[in-house]
Amino acid sequence: MERALLFAASLVLVSLFALIKGGAPERSAATLYLSAYGLSAMATQWTGSDYFGVQWVILGVDFILFLALVVLACMANRYWGLWAASFQLIAVIAHLAVVLFPQIGAQAYAIALLVWSYAMLPLLAAATYRHQRRLREFGDDPAWVA
């Protein structure tokens, strides 16, 4: 429970940083992350997630987040979106691994999903910092590919 609270607090802080200081791609990613977290939390409450077996609703949320991050990566004038989409793809693959190999333990399943969620936070924080740095250096930072 303590780790869940630490993650939630980190997510909120990094997302606020991105929403306040980031460009449009960073703000979009923060909104996507917060939405996915909220939907996953509701799904966990609804289904009583214990990671014994495939978490189908969370798989759906993770897959939609992956697709949204792919679109963001294709449209944004940034490279970090490719990393974010890749991290999310690994989470989706973790779900699919449990579909194919149901004997995978609950702890391994949970860790395989959660580690990539943690990796996305410093990525978004660094992206937001770099956006601010480009604004200071160049006065402009185009958000989207023309």
Q: Global pTM?
A: 0.94
Specify the pLDDT at position 13. Answer: 98
- Averaged over 56-65, what is the pLDDT? 96
Q: What is the pLDDT of residues 72-128, one digit of tens each?
A: 999 999 999 999 999 999 999 999 999 999 999 999 998 998 899 999 999 999 999
H helices of 48-79, in order, are 56-75
Look at residue 100 in the predicted model and tell me its pLDDT: 95
Query: Is pLDDT at 64 greater than 80 in this prediction?
Result: yes
Identify the pLDDT of residue 20. 98
Burial-class residue 75 by CB neighbours within 10 Å (0-12, 13-18, 19+): middle
> pLDDT digit string (tens) for 5-49?
999 999 999 999 999 999 999 999 999 999 999 999 998 888 877
Domain map (residue ranges) of the chain: 2-138
Q: What is residue 61's predicted lDDT score, i.e. its pLDDT?
A: 96
- pLDDT at residue 44 in the model: 85
What does each C-alpha distance from 26 to 32, 36, 114, 125 come to in angstroms?
Answer: 10, 15, 21, 9
